[in-house]
Amino acid sequence: MVNLADTFMINTVADGAMNFLRHIGVFKSKQIEAPVTTVIVRMPLWELAQEAGPFVRLAGLSGAAAVVLGAMGAHRTFPETDTKEDLRKIFDTANRFHFLHTLALMTAGAFFMAGMGLFCGTCYYHAFTGDRSFRRLTPIGGSCLILGWIAMVF
């Protein structure tokens, strides 16, 4: 049976031997890990937006514009066209894309700004006026939106 004094001596000899072996490089020295400290900084939303960079501000403006345009479209009478296009449906698509890409704007901003301007903007214009002259730019805007989503991956 091993008594307390023998256990203490065995542990002391073992610790001494391990420290010697660590000192000469046979074993790596013990790493004492510092406890992880989480710091929570409470900051008003407007201060957070100012520190986050220009795309957060642009996303705020874009979101406000999407709400205003959505309200305008909800209370507007759309013009009749010769081709009987459903301009309300085109407007709804543009507004939905505008809202979704406003959220994504905070990550891959340049592509999303170009895409929302070219895709949503031309759809809004067509829906409000019935004029198809800028519709040729819509696919370019759609491509910019796709590139924005791909840019988020890298």
The pTM assigned to this predicted structure is: 0.47
Total domains in the chain come to 1
**22 or 133: which leads in pLDDT:** 133
Distance CA 61, CA 71 (A): 15
| 79-132 tens-digit pLDDT | 777 666 677 788 888 888 888 777 777 667 788 888 888 988 898 888 888 888
Q: What percentage of the chain exceeds 70 in pLDDT?
A: 69
Q: Which domain holds residue 124?
A: 45-153
Residue pLDDT, tens place only, 17-29: 777 767 777 666 6
Q: Per the domain annotation, does 38 fall within a domain?
A: no
CA separation for the pair 131, 18 (Å, rounded): 83
Q: Is residue 32 part of a domain?
A: no
* pLDDT one-digit tens code per residue, 57-74: 777 777 777 777 777 777
Buried b / exposed e along 6-22 (16+ C-beta atoms within 10 A): eeeeeeeeeeeeeeeee
Residue 129 within a domain:
yes
pLDDT at 137: 92
Average pLDDT over residues 36-60: 69
pLDDT grade, residue 151 (50/70/90)?
Answer: confident
